Chains A and B, each alone.
Chain A
Amino acid sequence: MNKLETLKAGAALATMTLLAGPAAAEALFWSTQAKPVEETQAMREQVLAGFEGGVDYQGMDEGPWLTRIQAEMQAGSGTIAVLGGLHGDLSGLGEGLMDLSAIDTSVIGDAMLELGRLGTDQQLYVPWMQATYLMAANREALQYLPEGADLNALTYDQLIAWAAAVHEATGERRFGFPAGPQGLRHRFFQGFLLPAYTGSTVTEFRSEAAVEAWGVFAELWSHTTPASTNYSFMQEPLLTGDVWIAFDHVARLADAFNQRPDDFVAFPAPAGPEGRAYMPVLAGLAVMNTAPDAEQSMALVNYMLQPETQIATLRATNFFPVMPVDMPDDMPASVQAFAPAIATMTGASDALPALLPMGLGELGGQFSQIYTDTFEQIILAGRPVEATLDAQAEVLRALMVQANAPCWAPDEPSDGPCPVN
């Protein structure tokens, strides 16, 4: 049965036909998370196997994920039991989602629950799991750390000096950056580099501080391996030794730490003049109004929030629990390495959280593309910084107006669409 359903879903996707299959007894968990096949399998076998009645877990790319949701919303009936997605994936679906206030969320932090209300007084999604991005380094690189630099409180200037020292000593560019097609390069610009220099993701997009930030990145790029444009997951080049210092999402660094725990260290993102900007990543669970069996859906959401399920999810996906749980001692090496680094970064006195884009709905992809385009034009194609920023700022402004999206942290709250100066 399970196999048949999987085949069916695969065929449906491949042909882009969106005809809903016959109602199945298994609850369909339609998610943008845990897409890599090992993670999907771990979700099915270790996390969801305990749910009564069975769960058909499907991890999808955002595009096909959203297409099916829109089709079910338009049709007014559907087969998806529970949606899983990042805050940004879910924030555009507001009206199609059911109020989940009935679910016990007392152990989850208020700030996260507030995000799940999407600006309404209903709990439109409940936090599911969280993660962020970190820096990782091969221990071999530590000897080249510039004098006086504290690994847990680096600045961008120190990072560049470090990468330059490694470059000089080994004759190779060994900083690594996930600039491949599936890499999360845009998140680095949105949540780390630009906020650290401008204190903003959107409003100060073409300020002088932003020009400075891109100058800083260009300098870092001169010590970055050119193979970076092929990297999607930094754990692979870290393991092969091609890269000694890297930035990536924790889930995309974990393998390196799990395979060779003694060889790598994790540490917080560097700080710029405006602070140590970092991007917290929050995934949530939601139920659509068109869910075939609301009771079953609620039960599944509840099941996902049990401490044991949260720990199993952590093992399967490397996303951390959204509530305090007692960590077993046998947790993977990556968790043991990341937990203190995340705590140091989020607890730093100069910490500056920069949220994932909000309120953009299906324009989220175009929003990120602006940052990717800017990177490709300035850094890869070598176009002049100011002219590129001016041109892209126009695209960004038009997009914010089209989405009518107010600013999100760290930008100042706005009444209308988030302004671009």
Chain B
Amino acid sequence: MPRALPYLLLLPATLFLVVFFLYPFVNVAWDSVTRGGEMTLANYQRMASHWKFPTAFWNTLLLAGIVVPIQLAMALTMASIVTKLQKGRSTLLYIFAIPLGISDLAAGLIWLAIFEQSGFLNSMLYGLGVIERPILFLSYQNTWVILLAIVLAEVWRATAIMMVILVAGMGLIPKEYGEAAEVFGASRWQRFTRVTLPMLKPSLQTALILRVILAFEVFAVVVALGGTQFPVLMSETYQWQFTMQDRGVAAAYAMVILGISVAFTLVILRLLHVPKEARI
């Protein structure tokens, strides 16, 4: 039965998704609107009235708002350089991708080792005679340093994901377009903004969606560097589930993360929409 074959082949993956994704997801959604077996919005009320919720919400958006544009710019630059290279291209790709192989918690710990009171940065500054005694960088009194450390760690860790997708996308753009533009006297910058960027839209879309969703789920790096001093949505979800043992409120947090992820995905899909007939 050749007609049924594709469906049969897809069945295991579909089953896997239904059992390990759809079913838990429905459970979480259900948990978020029930309390003691009754339908209620009490979980959302409790979440929204907790004093850390607004901070966690805005911190998450702020972090994504800073990290993603920086990563986008860097990934585009890195991908352009890699694509242009004649020699040593794969070596450079491997080097750029090294941080990808490190878990986010480990990445957080690496940067913690740098910024700690007894960390590398303090030792270096002390060794150079710049400071007389170690400075406390990651303190509750200056959360902006915590933010800066998290941004650095995130940029260092996850830019390569976008770069890999963009390198693949750039490889798909036929050379003729660029060459034609060159013949008509377009500068390098013009070729990049008028030819490469528009042709790269589908890859940009994928890279941005992936990265934005991951940015809303940021957790281990934040916890490693900021502890409870820099609450984000994901760390509050963990807090409610495991410290406070309140599954309902944790589920409500999860739904908020899902909500903003879906909203931003739709916005990106719309902004970077490529009509079918315009695709390569």
Q: Please, which residues of chain B bring their CB within 8 A of the CB of A66?
A: 245
Chain A residues with Cβ below 8 Å from B139 are 226-227, 229-230
How far apart are A145's CB and chain B's nearest CB, in angstroms?
Answer: 25
- Contact residues, B133-185 vs A (CB, 8 A): 136, 138-141
Q: Contacts A229-B229, A230-B227 hold; do A380 and B246 have CB atoms under 8 A apart?
A: no
Q: Are A63 and B227 in contact (CB under 8 A)?
A: no
Q: How many residues of B contact A (CB 8 A)?
A: 20
Q: Is A240 an interface residue (CB 8 A)?
A: yes
Task: Check B245 against A63 for contact (C-beta < 8 Å).
Answer: yes
Check A306 for interface membership: any CB of B closer than 8 A: no
Contacts of A63 in B (CB 8 A): 241-243, 245
- List the count of A-B residue pairs having beta carbons below 8 Å apart: 50
B243 touches A369 (CB 8 A): yes
Asked whether B51 is an interface residue with its Cβ less than 8 Å from the other chain, the reply is: yes
With A and B bound together, what is the CA distance between A15 and B42 in angstroms? Answer: 29
Give Cα distance in the complex from A33 to B159, angstroms.
40
A180–B139 CA distance with the chains assembled, in angstroms: 11
Check A226–B140 contact: CB distance below 8 A: yes
| Contact residue among B52, B136, B241, B244 (Cβ-Cβ distance under 8 Å from A226) | B136
Contact with B along A149-182 (1 / 0, CB 8 A): 0000000000000000000000000000000110
- Count of A residues near B, CB < 8 Å? 25
What CA separation (Å) do A369 and B242 show in the bound complex?
Answer: 12
Closest Cβ–Cβ distance, residue A378 to chain B (whole Å)? 12
Q: Which residue of A lies closest to B142 (CB)?
A: A226
Give every chain B residue within 8 A of A215 (Cβ-Cβ).
none
The residue on B at minimum CB distance from A372 is B228
Question: Using a CB-CB cutoff of 8 Å, which residues 361-417 of chain A contact chain B?
Answer: 362-366, 368-369, 373, 376-377, 380
- Would you call B118 an interface residue if the criterion is a C-beta within 8 Å of the partner chain's C-beta atoms? yes
**Contact digits for A58-97, partner B, Cβ 8 Å, 1 yes 0 no:** 0001111010000000000000000000000000000000
Q: Indicate if A242 sits at the interface (CB-CB under 8 A).
A: yes
Q: How far is the CA of A61 from the CA of B238 in the complex (A)?
A: 13
Known interface pairs A181-B228, A226-B140, A227-B139; A366-B117 also in contact (CB < 8 Å)? no
Closest partner residue, chain A, to B118 (CB atom): A240
- In angstroms, how far is the closest chain A Cβ from the Cβ of B113? 13
The interface residues of chain A lying within 8 Å CB-to-CB of B52 are 373
Contacts of A226 in B (CB 8 A): 136, 139-141
Q: Which residue of B lies closest to A17 (CB)?
A: B20
10 shortest interchain CB distances as A-B pairs: A63-B242, A362-B245, A181-B227, A366-B244, A365-B243, A365-B244, A229-B140, A181-B228, A226-B139, A227-B136
Mark B residues whose CB is within 8 Å of A.
Answer: 51-52, 117-118, 136, 138-141, 223, 227-229, 239, 241-246
Q: A229-B140, A240-B118, A366-B244 are in contact. List 15 more A-B contacts (CB 8 A).
A: A63-B243, A64-B242, A180-B227, A225-B136, A229-B227, A230-B117, A230-B139, A242-B117, A362-B245, A365-B243, A365-B245, A366-B246, A376-B228, A377-B51, A380-B140
